[in-house]
Amino acid sequence: MTQPAPTPPAQSAPTQAAAQGLPRTLTRELPRHEGQTVRLQGFLHARRDLGGVQFLVLRDVSGLAQCVGSGLDLPLAESSVEVEGTVKAHPKAPGGFEVQVTAFRVISAATTAPPVEIPKMDWHVNPETMLDYRVVTVRGLKERAALKVQAELVAAFRDHLNTEGFTEISTPKIVSAGAEGGANLFPIEYFGQQAFLAQSPQLYKQIMVGVFERVFEVAAVYRAEEHATSRHLNEYLSLDVELGFIQDEEDVMALENRLLGAIMVRLRERCAAEFTLLGAQIPDVPAHIPRITLMDARRLVSEKYGHAVGGKDLDPEAERLLSQHYAETEGSDFVFVTKYPRAARPFYTHADHNEDGSLNPDLTRGFDLLFRGIEITSGGQRIHDHAMLMDSITSYKLNPASLEGYTEVFKYGMPPHGGFAIGAERLTAKLLGISNVRYARAFPRDRHRLTP
């Protein structure tokens, strides 16, 4: 334990300096280097001075390392630092190893102490402060664990769909009208024209079924809803899927079932530490997620739990109770709620059929997927027949002229198709037991929050 070696500040170091020194070791690699000298780089996560002996915790992308030295001139927490030292087994250190510092260098000094202590943060405390200072609080271990899990979830989503022959698409977020009608759209001034931020890629992913048959998109969507709940965001990452040449919505649900299975396999392989840190369990996805029609679901929560459901859909309490029922009786964290009534679905939802094959005007092939008490997907089969679509528009008392942009592609032989969308932040939050969906997004936008 010596004085830190005098080194020039990073920005004036010649390019070759690092190449001549030790290669960088990540903190998670320490067990492989016991007894060796390593060079670590990262952020000064925590520091403590015990009468001349200094403990510092270095945080890098892979974890934490406890380092011990003496006579070090430690900068403020969150500074970027470099440590050279010897790796020793140490049962009480995080990961079981400690680095005995032989050289210490400040790469880039923090000029201000963080407004909250990053190692002690908890997102249940002072959420607005945590979000106001998100540029630095997002470095917290739990914060980044949530974003890491989301990145892996999204990667698994893409990878699985690629194995099933899907093609990734990128569709416009600047649109001339909303897919679901005019409500809840953010207006944009577009070269003197009125435009809007897209609520969903609904029409565009349907058009692209005519090109690639099976498509997906991962992109932000925008809802100008003035809600202030723990489950809504005004900008969120939508995992959108659409597939053609289907028989009915069962094909869509079966795909989502396989997809969720693949996502959980990947999270198990790559995110075990993050789930442990957050005290959360990766769910088992049944080979066949239970299905229940909406009408049967309403009846079940009423008869079993005495909860009378208002409206045409399920209310949040009914979603919770229905999930509880399937967790208790079938051990499933997931349940599909099927055959939504027409009044609870948008105009482009395909009608269900009666047993004789005739159309049922009151029921649709729309479904929701509940996960641990909350809806994480809406999906269904869409109308592909132009005449049926025009009839639906009329029966919803919508203006066909204002929907011409939507209906155009259905003149050109669209095959039967359907799809769904998963809100990435909501699924991440629910997987990890994060109480507010805003912590599952790096820089959330809500009614009052435009920064950072």
Binding to a copy of itself in span 218-237, by CB under 8 A: 218-220, 222, 224, 226, 234-235, 237
Residues numbered 329-348 forming contacts with a copy of itself, rule: CB under 8 A: none
Phi-psi region of 149 (alpha: psi -120 to 50; beta: other; left: phi over 0): alpha
250 marked as part of a ligand binding site: no
Does 409 help bind a copy of itself (rule: CB under 8 A)? Answer: yes
Does 272 help bind a copy of itself (rule: CB under 8 A)? Answer: no
Is 39 or 90 the residue whose CB approaches a copy of itself more closely?
39
Does 12 help bind a copy of itself (rule: CB under 8 A)? Answer: yes
Alpha-carbon distances, residue 428 vs 45, 155, 376, 394 (angstroms): 25, 13, 10, 39
- Residues 414 and 416: their CA atoms lie apart, in Å, by 7
Sheet of 366-371: strands edge to edge? 167-168, 214-222, 235-244, 417-423, 374-382, 366-371, 334-338, 291-293
Helix extents (H) in 100-236 = 127-132, 134-137, 141-163, 202-212
The correct pick among 1, 46, 116, 136 for binding a copy of itself (CB under 8 A) is 136
232 marked as part of a ligand binding site: yes
425 marked as part of a ligand binding site: yes
180 marked as part of a ligand binding site: yes
Does 123 help bind a copy of itself (rule: CB under 8 A)? Answer: no
* Interface region with a copy of itself, contact rule CB under 8 A, candidates 246-254, 297-305, 306-314, 393-401: 246-254
226 marked as part of a ligand binding site: no
The correct pick among 416, 418, 419, 423 for binding a copy of itself (CB under 8 A) is 416
330 marked as part of a ligand binding site: no
* Interface region with a copy of itself, contact rule CB under 8 A, candidates 94-102, 241-249, 275-283, 298-306: 241-249
134 marked as part of a ligand binding site: no
Binding residues with a copy of itself: total (CB under 8 A): 112
- Residues 229 and 79: their CA atoms lie apart, in Å, by 36
Q: Are 226 and 234 contacting, i.e. CB atoms less than 8 angstroms apart?
A: no
Q: Is 188 helix (H, G, I), strand (E, B) or coil?
A: strand
Cis preceding-peptide flag for 452 (omega within 30 of 0): yes
Does 184 help bind a copy of itself (rule: CB under 8 A)? Answer: no
Helix extents (H) in 271-315 = 272-277, 294-305
**Interior/surface letters 44-56, b for 16+ CB within 10 angstroms, e for the rest:** bbbbeeeeeebbb
* Interface region with a copy of itself, contact rule CB under 8 A, candidates 48-56, 309-317, 381-389, 429-437: 381-389
213 marked as part of a ligand binding site: no
Q: Hey, what are 287's tokens?
A: 């080979």
CA atoms within 13 A on the CB side of 397: 1
231 marked as part of a ligand binding site: yes
419 marked as part of a ligand binding site: no
Smallest distance from the beta carbon of 7 to a copy of itself, in angstroms? 12
Smallest distance from the beta carbon of 331 to a copy of itself, in angstroms? 26
Does 421 help bind a copy of itself (rule: CB under 8 A)? Answer: no
* Interface region with a copy of itself, contact rule CB under 8 A, candidates 46-54, 78-86, 311-319, 324-332: 78-86
Nearest CA to 196 among 206, 181, 209, 208?
181
Residues numbered 357-376 forming contacts with a copy of itself, rule: CB under 8 A: 357-359
Is 208 or 376 the residue whose CB approaches a copy of itself more closely?
208
Helix extents (H) in 314-423 = 316-330, 386-395, 404-407
- Residues 95 and 31: their CA atoms lie apart, in Å, by 8
Nearest CA to 218 among 440, 448, 421, 2?
421
Residues numbered 17-56 forming contacts with a copy of itself, rule: CB under 8 A: 17-18, 24, 41, 43-44
Q: Residues forming the annotated binding site for ATP? A: 223-225, 231-233, 375, 423-426
> Which residue positions form the known binding site?
180, 223-225, 231-233, 375, 378, 382, 423-426
- For the annotated binding site for L-aspartate, the residues are 180, 223, 378, 382
